[in-house]
Amino acid sequence: MEDPPTTTKRSEQQTSVTSRVKRDCISFFVSLQEGFRYFKALLVGQGKKMTARNEKEATQADLLTEKMQVEAADAAEDTKKNLHKSM
């Protein structure tokens, strides 16, 4: 027969493993989302750059691309930070 403390310890280990796996999966999907947002920013920026009528519009397209990429990275970083705080 098992002692109740052993059962409790095993249960806590399973819970910590489960929460770690859950946190890692969510972190992975947040990274994927960041990659998709980064790629979307690249496509949007290239599209705007191709349709630019002058150099000013092309520069604005480059700035928009960079801004969208930074926002994607910041959002992913914030989500991961909140995830690690909550678990």
Residue 6 pLDDT class (50, 70, 90 cuts):
low
Q: C-alpha 79: how far from its chain's center?
A: 7
pLDDT above 80 for 14: no
| Helix intervals (H) in 1-87 | 4-50, 55-86
Any idea which residue has 């990274």 for tokens?
A: 31
DSSP symbol at 2: -
* pTM for the structure as a whole: 0.74
Any idea which residue has 């979307």 for tokens?
A: 40
pLDDT above 60 for 5: no
As a whole number, mean pLDDT of residues 27-37 equals 95
Mean predicted lDDT score pLDDT of the chain: 88
Radius of gyration of the chain from its Cα atoms, rounded to whole angstroms: 22
pLDDT recorded at residue 29:
95
Rounded CA-CA distance 64/76 in Å is 18
